[in-house]
Amino acid sequence: GFICCSATSPSRDECILYLISCFRARIKSSVQVNRVLDLMPSLSLDQKRQLRAVAGEKGDVEAAEKLLSVVEKEAPGTPGLCQEFSEALLKGGYAAADYLDPSLNDLPSPSSEATGDLGTALVNLFFDRLTDTLQATQVAFKCLGKGLLAVEDVERVSWNRGNKSAVREMLCRIIQKKEWLSPFLEALGEAGHANMAAYISGHPNASNRCDQWGKLDLLNDHMILFNDSMIH
């Protein structure tokens, strides 16, 4: 195993670099690059400009890959850069932060990862229905109240022209957050979208049962549907 706690262990930055190499794919899929850059003063304005351009043109996953490459390249000459990156993820509430704690205390379990993956798959599967149904501002403020979205997230959602565009922005931000599925389902119910919450959580006939919003024990049917869609 890789241990970062003894006197002979690598530095904290070296530990974080190692963890980046181990969990690169997970980290890339759980980062809102523009927000992270706001929290990284060690990067130059030119570096940030280039990374923001990639995010705008190619999306967050590609921009996150570029950001990880910058961190890896600059870390040897910039002590504390890796820690700054890790703290930026933590402050942003991103699931990726749990993969960069050298203590490994918060490393997600396989079951936790599976729950998050399934939630993301369901959101993708029902994306059109969600954008047609949800009222972005109402849901975003409910998510803000639950700590699922930050004030800046809500502002970014509100800036979008048209409800569908705003819902897309909101959903993309939500699925990058830590342990987002249960509070998101609760927020949907509280915002007047109990039917959609019940449908996503596997309880299409129980939309009025609030205690079911955060439970995922009946998602098997949706998982089968998702697998079938991937096969065909």
SS3 readout for 48-86: HHHHHHHHHHHCHHHHHHHHHHHHHHHHHHCCCHHHHHH
- The residues, any chain, with a CB within 8 Å of residue 24's CB and separated by 6 or more, are 65, 68
User: pLDDT tens, position by position, for the chain (232 residues)?
Assistant: 444 544 466 789 999 999 999 999 999 999 999 999 999 999 999 999 999 999 999 999 999 999 999 999 999 999 999 999 999 999 998 999 999 999 888 899 998 898 888 888 888 888 999 999 999 999 999 999 999 998 988 998 999 889 999 999 999 999 999 889 999 999 999 999 998 898 787 666 554 444 444 444 444 554 444 444 444 4
Say how far apart CA 150 and CA 13 lie, in whole Å. Answer: 27
Q: Is 170 exposed, middle or buried (0-12, 13-18, 19+ CB in 10 A)?
A: buried
Helices 60-74 and 12-22, axial angle in degrees (round to 10): 150
